[in-house]
Amino acid sequence: MIAAAAVLSFTTSAGAAVDKISGAGATFPYPVYSKWAQAYNEKTGVQMNYQAIGSGGGIKQIKAKTVDFGASDAPLKKEELDQAGLMQFPMVMGGVVPVVRIAGVDAGQLKLDGKTMGAIYAGKITNWNDPAIKKMNPDLDLPDQQITVVHRSDGSGTTWIFTSYLSKTSDVWANGPGHAKAVAWPTGVGGKGNQGVASYVDRIKNSIGYVEYAYALQNDMTYVSLKNKDGNVVEPTSANFQAAAANADWDNAPGFYEVLTDQPGADSWPITGASFILMYKDAKNPQAAQAALKFFDWAYANGDDMADQLDYVPMPENVVKLVQDKWHEQIKGKNGQAIWPVNK
């Protein structure tokens, strides 16, 4: 199980110019950031403390300048970045998956589409044996039981990705709660963080929720298969996340603002998203900013296998090069000097 505290903390080595890096934000990438941080600490002795408090909290903390970097699964538009003096860049990609607890239903057996999912979350479909669900699942013995909807209670990039998908595929949802990090949920119970939603679904019979894929795997949860934009029913896998991510046009995305939900492609998982890092362009503490960039550079170069093991999608090399060029162009220290690259 994922620890609810979700704070990374490792022993540091003496003598390092900067031996601590602090960050806060999205729970979506916490499992892979945790693995990277531990490996980086063992390699360098540098401690990376990351508080998984949700994307909304991460944006607030970086704007308040209480951390070296913020993390959000909901990218900020270029206008908001410019207004706050921030830059953002994608660090890793992954999938959001619906999960259920229904007796007799195993992982991948229940099939849904965006229209049906939107109706469930809008409170329009309230029972598991509703005709719309049964039509997609003629071979499943679904119970005549009320659906308990579980959603995020905090401002969440996972919610931003999930509601992006619902808004693109469900008119009921698009014309109702819409697409945001936090929405007015028409029904259900709220859990804080991915771990909070996972905990509720694990405990409540006949429930449905949505979590980042690593949480579904590590908690052995029953995930749902989805009909994608091409009309194919697909399961959440790293290969299917990559299929969706293949359509991302990072070169022409202002401020790296890119949405990966409901992408075309025979194998594309329809609720795919990236997780982003937020840093100040004007680095008030250049040494801390350099230390953070060295960690991210190391993760790009050395973290792919660890990301793969947790079913995240590493960023392609061409995107990493774009990101590092932006580090050089945009993040400045004293007297407007570029702080990247640095001697490693």
What pLDDT does 226 receive? 98
Q: What percent of the chain has pLDDT over 70?
A: 94
Residue 5 pLDDT greater than 50, yes or no: no
Structural domain includes residue 11:
no
Looking at the structure, tell me whether residues 154 and 116 fall in a common domain.
Answer: yes
Q: Rounding to the nearest 10 degrees, give the CA dihedral for residues 227, 241, 90, 255.
A: -40
Domain count, the chain: 2
Q: What is the domain-level CATH number for residue 110? A: 3.40.190.10
Q: What is the pLDDT of residue 237?
A: 93
pLDDT of residue 16: 43
Select the more confidently predicted residue: 9 or 178: 178
Mean pLDDT, residues 278-295:
95
pLDDT for 7 beyond 80: no
Kindly state whether residues 71 and 139 are assigned to the same domain. no
Name the region of 278 (left: φ>0; alpha: ψ -120 to 50; beta: rest). beta
As a whole number, the mean pLDDT across the chain is 92
- Domain containing 178: what range? 96-248
pTM: 0.85
Name the band, by pLDDT with cuts 50, 70 and 90, for residue 14.
Answer: very low
Q: Is 276 a residue whose pLDDT tops 60? A: yes
In the prediction, which pLDDT does 81 show? 97
Whether 199 and 287 share a structural domain? no
Peptide bond into 341 cis (omega under 30): yes
Does residue 15 form part of some domain?
A: no
**How far is 317 from 304, CA to CA, in rounded Å?**
11
How confident is the model at residue 17, as a pLDDT? 66
In tens, the pLDDT along 75-120 reads 999 999 999 999 999 999 999 999 999 999 999 999 999 999 999 9
Summarised one tens digit per residue, pLDDT across range 161-190 is 999 999 999 999 999 999 999 999 999 999
What are residue 287's phi and psi, to 5 degrees?
-65, -40
